[in-house]
């Protein structure tokens, strides 16, 4: 595609030769002639010195890096990351599997299969399940009894959708994810044994959700587990039984959310964050990676640490944590000095004696 | 079921209309007419105000919540959570797959298959393996050479049971779990390369264990990995090679236990806890979520933090951690004052000089 | 095998009866007659008192444990752990599946399959993929379009290799691992929705890598994700999109590495470590279990904690963390004493007033 056309499609301002042919998107350090790359994160500007790219997407306000090759064109974007995203989408190649149902599948007679689906080999679809139009089901996926999958979904290989789970439209589920496994619900008995509470209630995944590889989403005994529209969940995340996740939430890899927690809209969690059971995390709250959320969180709070406290406080306290040995020495020195002050003066000692 | 009959089955004291028809268990905020719900956690009592349930299981000693609908019956239980568990069990619907072995399976000729099993499509059972009576094997499960599975087990879809693994009776394994993968055992050589130590020793899962979705349990090079009877393991848990887990242990999601650790009976670990290799965690010890266990733990200890310390100590220290900047300022102020005290007085300075 | 022959093979010095027949390697506490065991970790020396082993591999310099059975032979090794590893390798039994391609597979006509492979049932190999010679593919593995797997690899059951992924020679992948799932790449729009950035760039796994069970390795939008030769990755690890992992790196279970991070050669990470995006961890750096890496790390550093700081500092600071309540009390006592000192003396108060 000509760079000029690309600039128009991406709503970027072009600086350089609009007749350049761009053939793909590329990373700064992998780019060669014909490649378009981008810099959204300032830490990578220095890498422009050595890039072989024909053009770079940069921020509208960025001064042209002096070390950039003179013949490297710029596409200036209000939001370079979004322009990059859109450029990747332009060059992305659809590699959908062949339409139809592979002959090596086990599809129940009463399952309902939408138009133009692509269902790969070794897929098992149990009785009463339904698959929406144009949905792609890769090999070795298992869909349980009565589960309902919407239109235009993509289920990558080895995904498990348990019985009765409801999944909306345009949901993408990466390989090996499990939706609807039994929640961890046991009632401990006087003899110490743990009585299983059957977990048979609902799991609902709303439209436009993405679920990462090997992530697990549990079903509860009563009520429901629900992931609301537009939420994106990374790999190896645990969503406990009865959890409610709001709209447009972002959960990075290895986050764990314990049972019955409520995550409000637009929350963002870094990797490996843990959320205790029955807590509520308010709208737009953010938790840095590894934060341990032990109490409900007010909307908009930015938490960090174990236990999670406001990020500003955590950063200040962490700096001092590291210097605790020094602080302790200063206290010891003070104790020495104060003892000296108190004992070196007769009057002071007399005063002490009087008490 | 009539509420009166239900009260008898659950050994609850009935307050209200015993002729009510109860059709299912439900969550407080999802319940409508015909539903039975429960309150075990006091934080949910307020929600009774708006519940549509016909009846609620509550603690024997709870005062009738004044805001509860007058026609809402109560079932008073010594342990409301257990009564809830039993009620859910009464209403649970068996949805077992059809008995028999699906024709799209790969079952070795010399595998031993018990009576009344249900084995779904795309299940592979290797040579010498055995499956006990009434065990249910969902689609796409793989059972390795010589593995032995007991009676009345449930293996959900995509579970992997590796060669030679031994599994007791009434064991439930959620989707995608792996039992018997190679332990992480390498001997680093002088040139920095890592020599693989073959991991071919035993893995034993005793009776009445439950294993969560996508959990992994490794086998060792020598000795055994063993999960003892009645233990329940949540999703995405890692059990290292040679680990011994006692009876009735509860391990919440994303716990990781490094190789050769010993977890004694009745231990409870919250989510994302980490246990170092070769450690012993004593009987009835409890670790709060995310605790890092870096030393062996005495029986009955309640640990929290990184590193894990007794919970009481951790809570007190954490409160002060947050106020470290203030503490530091107080030390600085003390230093200023003490310097002032020491220098403002001639006699003091003279004394100093003499030293 | 005669113990004498074994000693030669393992390059150990023999103390005891070289005519003993050794039939297997065993753990100290499981060993009986005919078993060879080992002590590499000094904490297990005490267990030698009760071992039933016929012989023990020990360090060349270890004094013969006085409580060891008199007829128990010793094999003295320069590196007992490596001698143990080699002994296990001698006794390991190859249990490879039958050569050939199972008839219940779905192998694309244009896939390229090397000589002497073993491909189990319910394996799907998509168009244009290639499998090297002698590679073993266990049941229910899925290999995407155009993926290339080298020679002498082992792919355990339920592994997913996504389209276009490139895997070297002698790579072992444990059950349920996913290589090439979509990276977590979204550009958040002004309306709060998250625009998916297609993730279609390369993933390369070099020679002699091992990947643990249910581990996930993501592909990026541009550039590549690369795991270099000889690196070993444990179970349930997350490797984000665009990450570069060096040679001979060891990543223990549940480690999470965020997108675009660079891990240099010979780095070692304990379980549950988290690494932030775009960071660089220098050569031979070590991170103790659960460390949170929030900044780039200089080569050779040994980090611990949240945030990760040099281990020595962390250990000292952690000891004081636990005693923070005491430290706070000491500061309070100092404040009391200093106030007393300052107020009990007329001259001091006067001095204050003058300011």
- Ramachandran sector of residue C50 (left: φ over 0; alpha: ψ -120 to 50; beta: rest): alpha
Predicted pLDDT at C42: 84
Residue A95 has pLDDT above 90, yes or no: no
User: Which ipTM value was assigned to this complex?
Assistant: 0.94
Instruction: Number of helices (H) and strands (E) in chain B: give both, helices first.
Output: 5, 38
Task: Provide, as residue numbers in chain A, all residues whose Cβ is less than 8 Å from the Cβ of B103.
Answer: none
Q: pLDDT tens, C105-154?
A: 999 999 999 999 999 999 999 999 999 999 999 999 999 999 999 999 99
CB A137 within 8 A of CB A113: no
* C93: confidence class by pLDDT, cuts 50, 70, 90: confident
Q: Is C318 on the interface with B (CB under 8 A)?
A: yes
Q: In what order do the strands lie in the sheet with B202-205?
A: B112-113, B130-131, B148-149, B166-167, B202-205, B224-227, B244-245, B262-263, B280-281
Q: Is B184 on the interface with C (CB under 8 A)?
A: yes
Predicted pLDDT at C348: 44
Predicted pLDDT at B348: 44
Note the residue count of chain A: 355
Predicted pLDDT at B355: 38
Is the bond preceding A307 in cis, omega lying within 30 degrees of 0?
A: yes
Predicted pLDDT at A112: 98
Measured CA distances, B294 to B241, B258, B276, C5, C315 (Å): 18, 11, 6, 41, 12
Predicted pLDDT at A54: 96
Strands C309-310 and C302-304: antiparallel
Q: pLDDT tens, B10-22?
A: 999 999 999 999 9
Q: Which helix (H) or strand (E) holds B248?
A: none
Task: Write a three-state SS string for chain C.
Answer: CEHHHHHHHCCCEEECCCCCECCEECCHHHCCCCEEEECCCHHHHHHHHHCCCCEEEEECCCCCCCCCCCCCEEEEECCHHHHHHHHHHHHCCCCCCCCEECCCCEECCCCEECCCCEECCCCEECCCCEECCCCEECCCCEECCCCEECCCCEECCCCEECCCCEECCCCEECCCCEEEEECCCEEECCCCCEEECCCCCEEEECCCCEECCCCEEEECCCCEEEECCCCEECCCCEECCCCEECCCCEECCCCEECCCCEECCCCEECCCCEECCCCEECCCCEECCCCEECCCECCCCEEECCCCEEHHHHHHHHHHHHCHHHHHHHHHHHHHHHHHHHHHCHHHHHHHHHC
Residues 6+ apart with CB under 8 A from A32: A26, A52, A53
* A349: confidence class by pLDDT, cuts 50, 70, 90: very low
Q: Which chains touch B (3 or more CB pairs under 8 A)?
A: A, C
Residues 291-310 of A with CB under 8 A from C: 305-306
Q: Quote the minimal CA–CA distance from B85 to chain A in Å.
A: 5
Predicted pLDDT at B286: 98
Residues 195-254 of C with CB under 8 A from A: 195-198, 200-201, 214, 216, 218, 220-224, 236, 238, 240, 242, 254
Tokens describing residue A243: 């959890």
CATH class, domain C3-91, is alpha beta
B187–C82 C-beta distance less than 8 A: yes
When CB atoms are compared, the residue of B30, B158, B266 closest to A142 is B158
Residue B202: helix, strand or coil by DSSP? strand
Task: Provide, as residue numbers in chain B, all residues whose Cβ is less than 8 Å from the Cβ of A125.
Answer: none
Residues 6+ apart with CB under 8 A from A154: A135, A136, A138, A171, A172, A173
CB C205 within 8 A of CB C179: yes
Task: Provide, as residue numbers in chain B, all residues whose Cβ is less than 8 Å from the Cβ of A233.
Answer: none
Q: Phi then psi for C348, rounded to 5 degrees?
A: -60, -45
Average pLDDT, chain A: 94
| Superfamily designation of domain A100-312 | Hexapeptide repeat proteins (2.160.10.10)
C176–B216 C-beta distance less than 8 A: yes
Q: Is A172 on the interface with C (CB under 8 A)?
A: yes
Predicted pLDDT at A345: 57
Tokens describing residue A316: 């200040």
Average pLDDT over residues A256-283: 98
Predicted pLDDT at A354: 42
Tell me, rounded to whole angstroms, the distance of Cα A135 from its chain centroid.
23
Q: Higher-confidence residue: A29 or A291? A: A291
Residues of chain C with CATH 2.160.10.10: 100-312
Strands A130-131 and A148-149: parallel
Average pLDDT over residues B84-112: 92
Q: pLDDT tens, C160-217?
A: 999 999 999 999 999 999 999 999 999 999 999 999 999 999 999 999 999 999 999 9
CB A232 within 8 A of CB A250: yes
* B202: confidence class by pLDDT, cuts 50, 70, 90: very high
Predicted pLDDT at B295: 97
Q: Could you tell me the pTM of the whole model?
A: 0.95
Predicted pLDDT at A239: 98
A163–B88 C-beta distance less than 8 A: no
Predicted pLDDT at C95: 72
Name the CA dihedral angle for C185, C207, C25, B161, rounded to a multiple of 10 degrees: 40
**How big is chain B by its Cα radius of gyration, in Å?**
29
Residues 263-292 of A with CB under 8 A from C: 266, 270-272, 289-290
Average pLDDT over residues B313-336: 96
Predicted pLDDT at A43: 84
Q: Please list the residues that pair with B204 across neighbouring strands.
A: B166, B226
Tokens describing residue B51: 């519940």
The percent helix, strand, coil of chain A (3-state, each to 5) is 20, 30, 50
Q: pLDDT tens, B250-292?
A: 999 999 999 999 999 999 999 999 999 999 999 999 999 999 9
DSSP string, A255-301: -EE-TT-EE-TT-EE-TT-EE-TT-EE-TT-EE-TT-EE-S-B-TT-
Residue B352 has pLDDT above 50, yes or no: no
Residue A259 has pLDDT above 60, yes or no: yes
Tell whether the torsion through CA atoms of C197, C202, C206 and C212 is positive or negative: positive
Average pLDDT over residues A12-23: 95
How many alpha carbons fall within 13 Å on the CB side of residue B226? Answer: 15
Q: Quote the minimal CA–CA distance from C223 to chain B in Å.
A: 27
Q: Please list the residues that pair with B292 across neighbouring strands.
A: B274
Q: pLDDT tens, A131-156?
A: 999 999 999 999 999 999 999 999 99
Q: Which chains touch A (3 or more CB pairs under 8 A)?
A: B, C
* B345: confidence class by pLDDT, cuts 50, 70, 90: low
Residue A353 has pLDDT above 50, yes or no: no
Residue among B119, B274, B321 with most chain A CBs within 10 A, to mutate: B321
A160–B176 C-beta distance less than 8 A: yes
Residues of chain C with CATH 3.40.1390.10: 3-91
């Amino acid at each position: 595609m000509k760079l000029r056309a690309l600039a128009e499609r991406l709503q970027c301002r072009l600086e350089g030769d609009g007749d350049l042919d761009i053939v793909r998107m590329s990373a700064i350090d992998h780019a060669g002639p014909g490649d378009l790359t981008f810099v959204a994160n300032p830490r990578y500007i220095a890498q422009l010195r050595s890039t072989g790219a024909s053009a770079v997407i940069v921020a509208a306000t960025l001064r042209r890096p002096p070390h950039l090759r003179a013949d490297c064109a710029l596409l200036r974007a209000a939001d370079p990351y979004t322009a990059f995203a859109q450029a990747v989408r332009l060059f992305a190649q659809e590699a959908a599997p062949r339409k139809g149902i592979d002959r090596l599948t086990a599809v129940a007679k009463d399952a309902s299969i939408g138009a133009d689906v692509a269902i790969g080999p070794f897929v098992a679809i149990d009785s009463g399940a339904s698959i929406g139009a144009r949905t792609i089901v890769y090999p070795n996926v298992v869909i349980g009894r009565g589960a309902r999958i919407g239109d235009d979904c993509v289920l990558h290989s080895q995904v498990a959708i348990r019985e009765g789970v409801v999944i909306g439209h345009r949901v993408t589920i990466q390989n090996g994810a499990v939706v609807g496994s039994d929640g961890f619900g046991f009632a401990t008995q006087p003899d110490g044994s743990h009585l299983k509470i059957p977990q048979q209630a609902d799991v609902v995944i709303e439209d436009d959700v993405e679920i990462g590889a090997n992530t697990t989403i549990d079903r509860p005994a009563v009520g429901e587990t629900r992931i609301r529209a537009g939420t994106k969940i990374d790999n190896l995340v645990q969503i406990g039984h009865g959890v409610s996740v709001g709209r447009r939430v972002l959960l990075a890899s290895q986050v764990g959310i314990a049972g019955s927690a409520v995550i409000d809209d637009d929350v963002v969690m870094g990797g490996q964050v843990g959320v205790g059971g029955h807590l509520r995390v308010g709208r737009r709250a953010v938790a840095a990676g590894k934060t341990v959320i032990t109490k409900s969180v007010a909307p908009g709070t930015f938490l960090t640490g174990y236990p999670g406290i406001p990020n500003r406080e955590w950063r200040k306290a962490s700096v001092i944590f590291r210097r605790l040995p020094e602080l302790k020495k200063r206290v010891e020195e003070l104790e020495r000095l104060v003892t000296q002050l108190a004992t070196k003066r007769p009057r002071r000692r007399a005063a002490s004696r009087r008490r």
